[in-house]
Amino acid sequence: MTDRVVVVGASLAGLRAAESVRRAGFPGEVVVLGAERHMPYNRPPLSKTLDGADPVEWLKPGRHAAEVEWRLGQAVTGSDLSARTVRLESGDVLSWTGLVVASGLRPRRLDLPEPAAGRYVLRSLEDRDRLLSAFDEVRSLVVIGAGFIGCEVAAAAAARGVKTHVVAPETVPIERPLGPLVGTEIRRRLEALGVLFHLGTVPVEFRGEARVRSVVLADWTEIAADAVLEAVGSRPNVEWLSGNGLDLSDGVRCDEHLRVEHRPDVVACGDVARFPNALFDEVPRRVEHWVTAVDTAKRAGQVLAAHLRGAGCGDAFAPVPSFWSHQASIRLQAFGAPGLGGDDVRVLEGELGGEAAVGYHREGRLVGVVLLGLTARYGYYRKEIERSSGGRPAGR
Ligand SMILES: Cc1cc2nc3c(=O)[nH]c(=O)nc-3n(C[C@H](O)[C@H](O)[C@H](O)COP(=O)(O)OP(=O)(O)OC[C@H]3O[C@@H](n4cnc5c(N)ncnc54)[C@H](O)[C@@H]3O)c2cc1C
C-alpha cells in the first residue's frame, strides 16, 4: 500500500498539519480532504467587520504544502480505524498509514421552531456573505449569545448604526473565559457603543410569518428584530469518527502528544482536539483559538511523521495558549488560561476603564493574563505566564 497521510479538514489546522508532516520529512503522499469548496482562509476577520470592504484573508500555504494534494468539496462521512480507511461522501474509500483529525467545529443552533428565515450563524465565508447581504436591510439585530463572536458582531453592527441587542443567560458577557471583572468592563464599553444587553435570560420564541420579526424572552419581553444571529457555541465535527470506540464526548480525546487514544497513527489538532496541557493540569480540554490551532497542527504533524518513521514523539505538548478579540475599539489579548484563574483576579497594571493588564491566579500562581490595550506589554506578560508555570502542573 502507498504510504499516505490523510488530513480531514482543509482549514487552518489541516493546512498547518499537512505542512508539518512534509517538513518532518514524510516521503509518501499527503492528501487533505475538506468539506468546504475553498482553500483555507482565516475565520477571525469574519466577525470583526460587517462593512463588506475587507477582502477574504486566504491562508498562504508554505513551501512544504507544494507537495500536498487538496481534495476540496469532499466531506468525509465515515472511517474505519482498524482497516485504516476513510469514506468520502462520493462513496470513495481512501486508505492511509497516518490520519490527522482537523475537522473543527460547526455552530450550535437554537432548538426553537420556525420561522427559519432571518436567523443566521457565523463560521464560514458563506455564513458571513449571507449575514452581510441581510445587513443592507437590517435596522434591528438581536444577537443570541454573549461570547466572543456574539460580542464582536454586536460591536461591529452597533458601529454601523444598527440597533443591536445581545441576549444571553450569563450575568456578564464573555463570563466563562474571562470572568466578571473583565466581562463587566466589556459590557460597559459595548453599551457605550449603543449595544443593549438582556442578560440572565434566554429566547423562548421567534415570531414572524415569512421571517423573524421579533424575539420573545423568558420574561416575555419582546424585541423587534430584522435579523437574529445565533452565536451560542459550537459542536465538534466528529461524527465521521464514530463506531471506532473513541471518546468523542467533546471533540476527540487525545493524549499529551495529540495522539488519539491508543492510536499512534491518528493525531488530532485545532478546535476539535481535546488534550491535556501540563502547564495547567491533566484535564483534557479543547481550545478554540487561532494560535492553538497552529501550534497543535505543527506538533501533531511532527508526532505523526515521527511515528511513521519509527521514532518517538519527544516531550509532552504544553503550549501557552493565547488569543485575541477585537470588539470595535476594544483590543483584547489574552494568554495562559484565564478561565482557570477565577480564584483571584486583579488589575496588574493600568486602569480597567482605560488600558489594563488583568491577572488570573490559581492557588497563588499566575495562570492567565488579559490585556485591554497595552499591546506593547504582550511579550512581557507572556513570559510572566511561562515563568510562573515553569512547566509544572498546577493543582487541580
Ligand atoms: C467568526 C470567528 C471569529 C474568530 N475570531 C477569533 C479571534 O479573534 N481570535 C482567535 O484566537 N480565534 C478566533 N476564532 C477561532 C479560530 O478561527 C479557530 O480557532 C480556527 O479556525 C480553528 O481552525 P481549525 O482548522 O481547527 O477548524 P475550522 O476552521 O473549523 O476548520 C475545520 C474544517 O474542517 C472541515 N470539515 C469538517 N468536517 C469535515 C468532514 N467530515 N470532512 C471533511 N472536512 C470537514 C470544515 O468544513 C472546515 O473547513 C474565530 C472563529 C470564528 C468562527
- Select the CATH number that applies to the domain covering 4-106+235-308 from these four: 2.40.110.10, 1.10.10.60, 3.50.50.60, 3.40.50.300: 3.50.50.60
Centroid of ligand 1 to alpha carbon of 271 (angstroms): 7
* CB of 10 closer than 6 angstroms to any ligand 1 atom: yes
* CB of 41 closer than 6 angstroms to any ligand 1 atom: no
Centroid of ligand 1 to alpha carbon of 226 (angstroms): 27
* Dihedral (CA of 336, 339, 344, 346) sign: positive
Does domain 109-232 correspond to CATH entry 3.50.50.60? yes
* CB of 75 closer than 6 angstroms to any ligand 1 atom: yes
pLDDT at position 390: 66
Cα–Cα distance for residue pair 14/272, rounded to 1 Å: 11
Residues whose CB is less than 8 angstroms from the CB of residue 376 and which lie 6 or more positions away in sequence, other chains included: none
Residues whose CB is less than 8 angstroms from the CB of residue 197 and which lie 6 or more positions away in sequence, other chains included: 146, 165, 166, 168, 173, 187, 190, 191
* Dihedral (CA of 329, 334, 339, 342) sign: negative
DSSP 212-234: --EEEETT--EEE-SEEEE---E
| Domain 329-389: assigned CATH number | 3.30.390.30
* CB of 288 closer than 6 angstroms to any ligand 1 atom: yes
Q: CA distances (Å), 267 to each of 23, 253, 259, 396, in order?
A: 16, 10, 4, 26
CA–centroid distance for 321 within its chain: 12
pLDDT at position 226: 92
Residue to mutate, 33, 56, 174, 237, ligand 1, most ligand atoms under 8 Å from C-beta: 237
pLDDT digits (tens, 9 = 90+) for 234-247: 999 999 999 999 99
Radius of gyration of the chain, Cα coordinates, nearest whole angstrom:
22
pLDDT at position 85: 98
Q: CA distances (Å), 134 to each of 51, 118, 152, 228, in order?
A: 12, 8, 17, 10
Question: What are the extents of the domains in the chain?
Answer: 4-106+235-308, 109-232, 329-389
CA–centroid distance for 319 within its chain: 16
* CB of 162 closer than 6 angstroms to any ligand 1 atom: no
Length of the chain measured in residues: 396
Q: Which atom of ligand 1 is nearest to the CA of 46?
A: 1
Centroid of ligand 1 to alpha carbon of 287 (angstroms): 11
Count other C-beta atoms under 10 Å from residue 316's C-beta.
15
Centroid of ligand 1 to alpha carbon of 303 (angstroms): 22
pLDDT at position 396: 30
In this chain, the answer to whether the domains covering 4-106+235-308 and 109-232 adopt an identical fold is: yes
Contact by Cβ (8 Å): 391, 365: no
Which segments of the chain have a pLDDT < 70? 1, 53-54, 390-396
